[in-house]
Copies of this chain bind each other. A is one copy, B any other.
């Protein structure tokens, strides 16, 4: 399977801050999910040509399914390497794998998240799935890692 060779993941770093940690001094898990949302936002803006600043009026990418394993705690000052890739690409949805690693390359957390491309009608408050454009599909495909 030569196509597998590319194995392109979208990656960003984020340092654990005071605001992320709880009384035990470790990241409070909803803050990890804010970090994950930032990663998706960066991916859409930097790689998929769909910055949230432009799509927010008429579209959204709600999360419909989330699975996470928190493998070890992270503390203030830990520099996390966040990675995201595509496991499955549907007509209007994407299933992504993700993992956050520590400086020693050990996994802090990993999991998968399913996002749906939707159109928003703010007046009627209707939300419905909308197929990705060909351009967006093409860009997303660059991060597809089969059997991941």
Contacts and interface: CB of A to CB of B under 8 A. Distances in A.
Contact of A34 (B30, B37, B54, B62): B30
Interface string A67-100: 1111101011100000000000000000000000
B18 A22 contact: yes
Nearest to A66: B68
Contacts of A62: 24, 26, 29, 70, 73
A120 interface: yes
Contact of A52 (B51, B73, B76): B76
Contacts of A120: 24
A6 interface: no
B66 A70 contact: yes
Given A19-B22, A65-B68, 6 more contacts: A17-B52, A23-B76, A30-B30, A53-B76, A64-B71, A65-B70
